[in-house]
Amino acid sequence: TVQECKDFIKEGLRISELYNVPIYVHVTTRLCHSYGILEYGTIESINNEGRFQKDSKRFVNTLSKAMANQRKYFDLISQFAKNRKLFYLLNKVKTFKSERNQLKKEDPNIGVITSGICYSYVIQACNKLKINPPILKLGLIFPINREEICQFANEHELNKILIIEELEPFIETFSKRVFCNFCDAKRDLEIHGKDYLPNVGELNTDLIMRFFSKFFPIKNKELLEDVKKKEDILKEVLPQLPIREPTFCPGCQYRPIFYELKKVVDKISEETGIEFIYGGDISCSTLAEAYPYQMIDWVVCMSAGIGIANGMAHVIDPKKQKLITFIGDSTFFHTGIQPLLNAIKNNIDITIIIFNNYWTAMTGQQETIDTPRDFITHFGEKSKTEKVRIDLIGMLEGLKLENLIVTGSYDLAKLERIFSNILVKKGPKIIVINEECALEKKRRLRREDKKSASNKKTEIYYQITDSCVKCNECIEYLGCPAINAIYVDEPLDTIQEERELKYYIDQTRCIPKVCPGICQSTCKNYAIKKTIINP
């Protein structure tokens, strides 16, 4: 549960301080996307002033010292597995269903071992199937408490143990080792888990119910039949549903970059026969892998866009293929500087596009070390955010690069000139797109408007007029989600292909104070009109 996750983190920090070891809290996707009401204990006073205690045997990991520390670590792990005080501490957090700890005579000798959110799936499946197996919910999954799981198997005289966990069989593997080498069991013991459950994706209650049905006598057969019917319906319906492609936000500063880059690249490819290869990264630019751009050829991890391109540049023929990579400012500061320097040092033929939008936009809108201080108004004066700003552009200028260009996002004509000129050059080429995240800029301007003393505010609207010939340049090739289509009339006897479509701009999604009308710039028929209302 969310409460347990919070409590485990607290106890994990306590254990880390007590034993001088790193603690890993294993969470799943579903838990990370959950929320709930939390109960907090007494807030402990913390001494923020630290002092480094010199200990070369512990911290200087060279040669024999490193091996000695490795031995100490393994000894410590062994002590963990036998530490009753530690497991008592963690057992205060985890919860059991006490009524499930005793087997009825008619029940088979089958127990369940699980942990985390999978415990919730197990409980729901047991309730629906009306079965009552003993359940061991582990709080600490590494190192596994040998005594705990051996006692669990012996106490209930289990012949089979079902292990429920997501992804790889971590608990299952260690449990098998424990039962094989340490448990004093005078019977055969079957352990099942990943021989039935998937090791890819999330688990759910229906999957657990089908798993249990292979081992427990199920009285409510109709329930399993309903689950099977639901799965069959989903298999039939899901492929027919329209795909919701990932896309940039309305007004996003990334959209005009990929829109114009695609046009220039297609033109160069048509004229020269050169194929362009695109290295993606962990950022909003990843969304360019979808239609209408489809300009990402790989995404692996942070900075792998430039990193993989470094190696690829040594084997591809530059007369036949050229490399373009994308990276955001957050990732660039995190792990992107080194592969950039490597590309410059080796003089590889690559175009690196750095999106400097001042925020960690895709995963939470956190500030970066390049965020201007005056942008960070919502933290107040007591903000602990770094007061020293690292200037990304200034840092790149210090490298004395031959091909370094800094530009904004919304001037399509300028972008066309830049891309047409730089993509055909040889060697490392860096383009910095210097434009604040549109979503965060919208929020910032809204805050500034609220602080403004004047109630008179200029309103801006973009509208698609009746002169629109539906060439689809704005709605399909630009792909702004603020532009939609609606049928003018929907009589029941009208064939769908004969209905009249009308394109319109959704004013609730359009952000004209941030985006200066890229849709208007793309319209060859001048059918998009800008209206300014001055109070």
What is residue 397's predicted lDDT score, i.e. its pLDDT? Answer: 93
Q: List the Cα angle 173/174/179 in 5-degree steps.
A: 100
**Structure confidence at residue 381 as a pLDDT band (50, 70, 90):** low
Burial 74-92 (b: 16+ CB within 10 A, else e): eeeeeebbebeebbebbbe
What is residue 188's predicted lDDT score, i.e. its pLDDT? Answer: 79
Are residues 352 and 428 in contact, defined by beta-carbon separation less than 8 angstroms? yes
Mean local confidence (pLDDT), 370-397 = 72
Among 41-50, 237-246, 469-478, name the one with the lowest average pLDDT.
41-50
- Residue 104 predicted with pLDDT over 50: no
Mean local confidence (pLDDT), 287-296 = 92
- Residue 14 predicted with pLDDT over 70: yes
CA 320/CA 107 separation, integer angstroms: 69
**Structure confidence at residue 220 as a pLDDT band (50, 70, 90):** confident
Cα–chain-centroid distance for residue 440?
19
Are residues 519 and 460 in contact, defined by beta-carbon separation less than 8 angstroms? no
- Residue 374 predicted with pLDDT over 50: yes
Mean local confidence (pLDDT), 33-45 = 83
- Higher confidence at residue 152 or residue 94? 152
What is residue 332's predicted lDDT score, i.e. its pLDDT? Answer: 94
Quote the percentage of the chain above a pLDDT of 90.
47
Which phi-psi region, left, alpha or beta, contains residue 504 (left: φ > 0; alpha: ψ -120 to 50)?
Answer: beta
What is residue 334's predicted lDDT score, i.e. its pLDDT? Answer: 92
Burial of 173 (0-12, 13-18, 19+ CB in 10 A): middle
- Residue 79 predicted with pLDDT over 80: no
What is residue 98's predicted lDDT score, i.e. its pLDDT? Answer: 36
pLDDT by residue (tens digit) across 329-340?
Answer: 999 999 999 999
Among 99-103, 187-191, 267-271, 458-462, name the one with the lowest average pLDDT.
99-103
Residue 501, strand partner residues? 487
Which of 78-82, 399-403, 496-500 shows the highest mean pLDDT?
Answer: 399-403
- Residue 90 predicted with pLDDT over 70: no
- Residue 223 predicted with pLDDT over 90: no
- Provide the whole-model pTM: 0.82
Mean local confidence (pLDDT), 427-451 = 90
- Residue 106 predicted with pLDDT over 50: no
Burial 220-238 (b: 16+ CB within 10 A, else e): eeeebeebeeeeeeeeeee
What is residue 322's predicted lDDT score, i.e. its pLDDT? Answer: 96
- Residue 40 predicted with pLDDT over 60: yes
Mean local confidence (pLDDT), 69-84 = 80
Helix (H) or strand (E) holding 271: helix 255-272
Which of 184-188, 279-283, 374-378 shows the highest mean pLDDT?
Answer: 279-283
Mean local confidence (pLDDT), 132-149 = 85
Q: How far is CA 46 from CA 25, 51, 190, in A?
A: 22, 14, 48
- Higher confidence at residue 86 or residue 315? 315
Which phi-psi region, left, alpha or beta, contains residue 322 (left: φ > 0; alpha: ψ -120 to 50)?
Answer: beta
Domains recognised in the chain with CATH numbers: 2-91 (no CATH), 98-240 (3.40.50.920), 255-443 (3.40.50.970), 456-533 (3.30.70)
